[in-house]
Structure 1
Amino acid sequence: MQTLLNRRELALDVLVPGDPDRLEAPVRWAHSSDLPDPTPFLGAGQVLLTTGTQFDGASDAFATEYVARLVAAGVVGLGFGTEVIRAGTPEPLVAACGAHGLPLFEVPYRTPFIAIARLVADLVAEDTYARQAWALAAQRAISLAALRPDGLSAILAELSQQLGAWVGLIDAGGALDREFPPGGLGASVAGSGASGSVPFSRDAPPEPAPDAAPGAAADPLDAVLAAARDLLRRGRRASRSVDAGEPVTLQTLGSGGSLRGVLAIGDSPELDDAGREVVTAVLALAGLALEQHRDLDRARGHLRSGLVRSILAGDLDLAAQVAAEMWGPLPAAPVRVAVVEAAAEHADRLAERLELRADARGGRLFFGRIADGFTVLVEDADATDLAADLAAEFDAAIGLSDPVGYDRIAPAHEQALRAHERAVEAGPGTIVRFEEVSRQGVLAFLARTDARAVALATLDPLVAHDAANGTALVPTVRTWLACGGQFDRAAQELGVHRHTVRARIALAERLLGRDLSGFHAKADLWAALLAVD
């Protein structure tokens, strides 16, 4: 607006400077009208030109209402043409513009309205051309950045520089993968004075950001990561604007059902139509780079799996040498073997999370995908935290071996497999350590395989008798066996007389057709009870 007022050839006389925001606002068009209410034909960012016929005989209140309607419609300036209908600008109109902060200027008789409209059109065209030229230059710079060794980082760094804003890449697991400038979001928020950005996406409509919870975290990055994780959980292409102290725009990367991450962009005045074209180009390049990384990650995953199989087969030296060249040293003994299995739709994200954790831990974790799950070698000190994190985030069923040296890796893998079977039976998100299984003994393990049907048939006479007669033969037999076949201890546990226990055991022997005085019979009956439990 100020540029228009400063043009000497128009000889405009400023009567009311108006609010600084309106003076700095871009003028989108100049429209002339003498209607009492021209707002149905106006848009935001326009300048209205009038000769003032609507003010003939009008009251002061009309001028106030007239200006209020213009301000509500987003008009950024009002030009009054003098010496056409009347000489000078009505004082009520000057007062109303002053009260509402609307810039008001007089247009002399020698300056036709068409000259103002033509100048505005030229300025808009110049600005549009300049923005298009900027967009082309920015896209060219970003394309050249993509050719650098770490193309993805170079692309994002160039985008940050072109927009003058913080740019972050959030990986498929919801963690901040990289940002430019480093730590720039917090610094940007502290000095933010920009008006805000506009969500962008050609393929997915922006979604409203969830309301901020009272007492939100002080770190603005937390709000960005929380919103990004919500988009990733939904699994479809979308964009969102989130308030992190400054507006931050989020856009998913990848195709629906196979999202590769989220691009986050801080507040920038460059995010107009031209800026959004630049961002769209970055989305395409970043998505391509991530897909290429995915293919590379898949090849690396096959190599990891082959090395884990070599370790389990006892060929440790070769596996350790290859692993050291690719990722660093293997975890230091003692290690635990973990067998981790999650739902199929989480498998790729689980692999990415293990890869990120392995990179962050610097050799304290190694893994490979075997069959439908992952076999993980992890240092004993990290095993509990790793299992808890994976179970919570991916609802993974996890079996953990005892801590062992590398000479016992194969037996430890068997332990992890047995513990994993128990975890699968218990349901998603369950962690079972092998020591929990071994504490129950060999009979407990044997009883849980295919013995349940046999056990039910074995115990059926006792169960049927209890159901028909209201007796307690099954709990009595269980307690008696748990007490080592001692009648006095069992009686104390059950709170009955020892002769009652003797009578019940004798009845159980008759119903089962077995003599329970021998060890073999006791062990067989105990295994049956474990199987049905």
Structure 2
Amino acid sequence: MLTLATLLQDPSLELELLVAGADGSLDGAALWVHNTELPDPSPYVREGEIVLTNGLWQEQTTAADFTRNVRRAGAAGIIFGLRAQTPETPQALVDACEELGLPLLEISTRVPFTAVTEAASALRADQRRDALVGMVRRGDALAQAISHGAGASGVLAVLRREHELPLAVVDRMARPLASAGAELSAEQRRLVAEGLARHPPPLEVDLAGEQGRATLFLVGAVGDTDAALVCLKPVTELSRQEQDALDQAARFLSLEVAKQQAVQAIELRFASELLDMILSGTRRAAEVPDRLRAFGVDPTGELVVLTTAFADGDESTLPGLSETVGSFFLDQSLAVVVAGGSQDVVAVLQRPRKELHELAEALLRSIAQRFPGRRAVVGLGEPAATAQALRQPLIQSREACRVLRRRQGQAVASFNELGTHRLLLGLQDTETLRNFADGVLVPLREFDRRRDAELETTLKAFLQYDGQYAATAAALYVHVNTLRNRLAKITELTGRDTGRTEDRVDLYLALEADELAQG
């Protein structure tokens, strides 16, 4: 590394130290060397450069002013070159450097400034070569750690061989992936995850307490920020070499995160296929036990289904809910199949020893820690005696969750506890539901297909807004007269008057039955 101390150690330069400057000045990294005879070189000298001068500025300014200008530029120090006209370094320059704490070296008349430049170039070349060799060796070690399955912990172990830094890896769901020399609390991991959710993510986060500020090195897979390599030091306390090493490690961690995401994507696809198998009824029931075994769930005993979602107002599941649910059951040492949908997360597992409501309450507490301020609900289905009998509990669980999302206060309930019309519909087989729904809705759909009239959409909105004409028309962005004409056509096609409660019940149940039949 180029420093005044390394230049002093080169005997060919014949340098002599006159003023050491402030503590550590000689060992501080120097940017480059700058030859100048200007009385005020501050506009041209970069911070960290070593100023080379023969003192020709003495005819235009004093040593004190020249030194102050050099100091103002943030130079690393001054090398004064002796010449025949100036066989000794001016005492005024020595005194000024002493006063300002600026290092001052003297070079003999036998050595030109070009020798200093050549020495600086050689040091720079050695530094770059060493950095490149170190990066290649570190890259080989990181690649070996990843390829041998050491994971994120192996990456941190490679880093710790070179730099004794407190490190941790945290993903965007606030899960700890690895740590070395640092243990983050759940709250600190949450602060890191919140930082990763910002656009763009910050360079540092305040972890509060004794930890203070920590530097984040982003770990991405497929273009997104999925995790962070966290160094429990602010970036200002990290050397350039440490920052480069951490940045390189973060890139290798991206490979590990991408691998984990690929595995999770495969598991999620298989889990979603399992739900399709269950909902298909007897047609694919024989395939369900083998798929459960693939996830470690024993299909021979009683099975239960829990469906989790955020309450009304959060129309879709947040990223990380499926992972949070899966992690909860794994922490409970329960084998589980977790499938995340657009609006809920379904968990299928063998009936646990713990009472099901108690387990659901514990799950909600775990979700609340991960998503503070969000209200979640859990719907429960009745236990299934066999894997082939899971269809009804799955429908019940999802319907219970759907009802709970609309109700205030209650967060956990089984389907039978809710006392809703969906309970009656859920007792019917798919064919019965389909026949009833089609008998009412097919005429509307045929008319919509021919005329693009949006009758079914209008009916859903009208029932959603409790038959209020103004509110329904506003929601559909149509005039009230247009709404009345559409409702009249619905009455004509279905034989059910949208103004009568009895007929409205038929229309509403048809829509609900259609949704249930589709699973």
TM range (shorter): 0.5 to 0.7
Partner-residue secondary structure (3-state), 1:106: strand
Deviation at residue 453 of structure 1 after TM alignment: 6.1
The answer on 1:231 being equivalent to 2:234 is no
Q: Which amino acid aligns with 1:112?
A: P
Q: Assess, with a 3 A threshold, how the Cα gap between structure 1 residues 223 and 333 changes in structure 2: closer, same or farther.
A: same
Pairing 1:263–2:241 present? no
Q: CA contact under 8 A between 2:169 and 2:177: conserved in structure 1?
A: yes
Instruction: Identify if the C-alpha distance between structure 1 residues 272 and 224 changes in structure 2 by more than 3 Å, giving closer, same or farther.
Output: farther
SS at match of 2:217: strand
Which residue does 1:385 correspond to in 2? 362
Larger Rg: 1
Q: Which amino acid aligns with 1:147?
A: S
Does residue 272 (structure 1) correspond to residue 251 (structure 2)? The answer is no
Confirm or deny: 8 A CA contact 1:336 1:383 kept in the other structure: no
2:78 and 2:410 mapped to 1: Cα distance?
71
Report the residue type matching 2:326 in the other structure. E
1:203-214 correspondence to structure 2 within 5 Å: none
The 1:281–1:20 alpha-carbon spacing in structure 2 relative to 1, beyond 3 Å, is same
CA shift for structure 1 position 145: 2.2
Kept in 2, the 8 Å contact 1:220–1:245? The answer is no
**Which of 15, 27, 31 is the matching residue for 1:28?**
31
Post-superposition offset of 1:36: 1.3
- Does residue 368 in structure 1 map to residue 326 in structure 2? no
Equivalent of residue 294 in structure 1, options 218, 237, 261: 261
How far apart, in 2, do the equivalents of 1:153 and 1:23 lie? 38
SS at match of 1:20: coil
Secondary structure in structure 2 of the residue aligned to 1:248: strand
Aligned CA distance change for structure 1 residues 32 and 357 (closer, same or farther; 3 Å): same
Q: Any conservation in 1 of the 2:214–2:230 contact (CA below 8 Å)?
A: no
Of the three residues 334, 338, 350, the one matched with 2:321 is 350
Identity across aligned pairs (percent)? Answer: 19
- SS of the residue corresponding to residue 15 of structure 1 reads strand
The corresponding residue for 1:465 is none
Helix, strand or coil at the partner of 1:27: coil
* Cα distance between partner residues in 2 of 1:224 and 1:390: 15
2:444 aligns to what?
Answer: none
- Is the CA contact (8 Å cut-off) linking 2:171 and 2:193 kept in structure 1? no
Match of 1:45 among 34, 42, 48: 48
Unaligned runs of 5+ in 1: 187-218, 458-523, 525-533
* Deviation string, structure 1 residues 221-267 (Cα, Å, up to 9, x no partner): 85565144222354x6x5613454465233141245x4432232455
Contact 1:402/1:433 (<8 A) preserved: no
Q: 1:289: Cα distance to partner?
A: 3.1
SS at structure 2 position matched to 1:136:
helix
Aligned position for 1:15: 18
Distance 1:40 1:223 in 2: 45
Residue 337 in structure 1 maps to residue 314 in structure 2: no
Residues 360, 324 of structure 1: alpha-carbon distance in 2 compared, 3 angstrom cutoff? farther
1:261-297 per-position Cα deviation (integer Å, ceiling 9, x unaligned): 2232455988537963x55554444323322322221
After TM superposition, the structure 1 stretch with the greater mean CA deviation from structure 2, 245-254 or 335-344, is 335-344
Cα distance in 2, alignment partners of residues 454 and 346 from structure 1: 22
Relative to structure 1, the CA distance from residue 456 to residue 30 in structure 2 (aligned partners, 3 Å threshold; closer, same or farther) is: closer
Q: What is aligned with 1:167? A: 167
Q: Cα distance, 1:148 vs. partner? A: 0.4
For the 8 Å contact 1:135–1:275, the answer to whether it is kept is: no
| Amino acid across the alignment from 1:240 | L
Aligned residue in 2 for 1:416: 397
Q: TM-score, normalised by structure 1?
A: 0.63
Matched with 2:406 is 425
Q: Is the 8 A contact 1:26 1:45 kept in 2?
A: yes
Which residue does the alignment assign to 1:2? 5
Q: Does 1:123 align with 2:96?
A: no
CA offsets, 1:6-59, max 9 Å, x none?
222222221111123221112332222121111222112211122223334855
Equivalent residues of 2:382, 2:396 under 8 A apart: no
Which structure 2 residues correspond to residues 458-469 of structure 1 after superposition, within 5 A?
Answer: none
CA distance in 1, matches of 2:264, 2:421: 43
* Cα pair 2:82 2:108 within 8 Å, conserved: yes
Q: CA deviation at 1:412?
A: 4.8
Partner SS for 2:147: coil
Letter in 2 for 1:434: A
Counterpart AA for 2:323 = E
Q: CA deviation at 1:161?
A: 2.9
1:150 is displaced (CA, Å) by: 3.6
Any idea what SS the aligned residue of 1:170 has? Answer: strand
- Give CA-to-partner distance per residue, 1:79-132, whole Å, 9 cap, x none: 122344434333332223223221112222222222222211211111111111
Helix, strand or coil for the counterpart of 1:253?
strand
Query: Would the alpha carbon gap of residues 456 and 33 (structure 1) be closer, same or farther in structure 2, given more than 3 Å must change?
Result: closer
Q: Is the 8 A contact 2:78 2:105 kept in 1?
A: yes
Give, in whole Å, the separation in 2 of the partners of 1:69 and 1:444: 83
How high is the TM-score relative to the length of structure 2? 0.65
- CA shift for structure 1 position 2: 0.9
Counterparts in 2 of 1:68 and 1:223: CA distance versus 1, 3 Å: farther
The CA deviation string for residues 326-380 of structure 1, in whole angstroms up to 9 with x for no partner, is: 55779x9896723436978756522222233333222175533468532225753
List aligned pairs for 1:109-258, cutoff 5 A. Answer: 109-179=109-179, 181=180, 184-185=181-182, 222-223=187-188, 225-234=190-199, 238=201, 240-242=203-205, 244-245=211-212, 247-256=214-223, 258=224
Q: Provide the residue aligned with 1:485 in structure 2.
A: none
Aligned mates of 1:355, 1:363 — CA distance in 2: 10
Q: Point out the more displaced range, 390-399 or 375-384.
A: 390-399
Seen in structure 2, the aligned counterparts of structure 1 residues 73 and 359 have a Cα distance that, compared at 3 Å, is farther
Secondary structure of 1:357's aligned partner: helix
- The letter of the residue matching 2:19 is V
Contact 2:172 2:196 in 1 (8 A): no
Q: How does 1:307-322 map to 2 (within 5 A)?
A: none
Distance 1:431 1:119, change over 3 A: farther
